[in-house]
Structure 1
Amino acid sequence: MAERNTAEEPARTRDRQATEARILEAAQSILIAAGPSGFGVNAVAREAGIDKQLIYRYYGGMDGLLEALGIRLAEWWQEKLMAGLPEKPAASYGELIELLALRLLAIMRTEPLALQTLLWELTGSESFVKSLSASRARAYGTWMARVRGNLAPPEDVDAPAVNALLIAAISQITLAGRNADTIIGLPANDASTWDRVEQSIIRLIRGVYPLA
């Protein structure tokens, strides 16, 4: 019986990792360019320049690929969220939510991938929606776990509901401003509009979560 060449195992591991990275990069590129309608095992394999059987071998098929892509997107969201943190930690729960809300607004306005993920959640299949929604939820949860510390919302405030409404509003207003000239009467291409939006977000948050 021939002996197993253990020296080749690290090389095979590196090759698989490199191939998986290519597959996920290809999947992300297709979703940015074509959205869910252009996404599929064959399309991803072509974009990555690999045999589609590797996708089945590594991920088991479409569902496994979407799960892996969701993890990748969660890491992407987390990186973008953490990049906007000030050196001085938040002194109150309200200040913490201000940081999150304003950072989300900035990301969604400047990062094409962020807006595309929002669109996919609205227009994709159930598998797409589940994977993408879970990726954002993981990113928000990880961010809160790292940054929140012992900060807590007021006891008389339903913080999960308030925060969900806030995030949904930010998502909707950035989506509405993507191609439209106006956002419910506000000029979408006017920089002062977004200054007004930022100030309004701050006032709304401070109305619910006093800083002191």
Structure 2
Amino acid sequence: MDKAQPLIEAGRYMLSNHLAWGTSGNISMRLDTENMLITASGTFMGNLSPEDFVEYDIHSGENRGFKKPSKETPMHSEIYKRRSDIGAILHSSPFYTTLIACSKEPILSNLFIETMYYLEYVAYVDYFHPGTPELAEAVSKQSSNANIVIMRNHGATVFDDTLNDALMRLETLEMACRMIIMAKSAGIELSEIPAHVRRSFLEESRYKTRKKMNYLD
């Protein structure tokens, strides 16, 4: 199987499930301690092919491929440098997540099982133009203490050990944002799970091994 195949399938899944649209967004996967595979600039997420990826040296900046790597490559590489546990990164602008990113509405993590786990560590950064060193620095810095970074007026970047876990994290984020917005528009008051119950779930339920943060600056 071509090494790009998991990312090709991830892009197709993201587009089919409204987690991405058009050429908005970029995805990558760590190949080894030195290299990552990332989408090329301007690629359509739902119709990726092996030629739409660039192999990039995380440390030297050397790239191997026929196309130009995504303009957000510096952001991806800096996250991989800071977080040796991270195996995949998804940057996208799903509708409800982006709506929240364009507002002051908080993202609630105490709503249901998946939000308690996948949304435990969410950070925010102010708006910076896409592809700029300032955006890469801001997001990578927050990646030291979060697994999701909301970029104001832009979208979100999520990362995890595996591509499937990163997809689940992104899908849970979009689901929670949709619930928050729809509840607010319908006048429904959401009931959050108490903090002590959340702690018990994360530490004792055996749902998944809690991904504790060990990469604080």
Greater relative contact order (Cα < 8 A, sep 6+): 1
The structure carrying a bigger strand percent of its residues is 2
The structure carrying a bigger helix percent of its residues is 1
* Fold equivalence (TM over 0.5): no
Scaled by the length of structure 1, the TM-score of the pair is 0.30
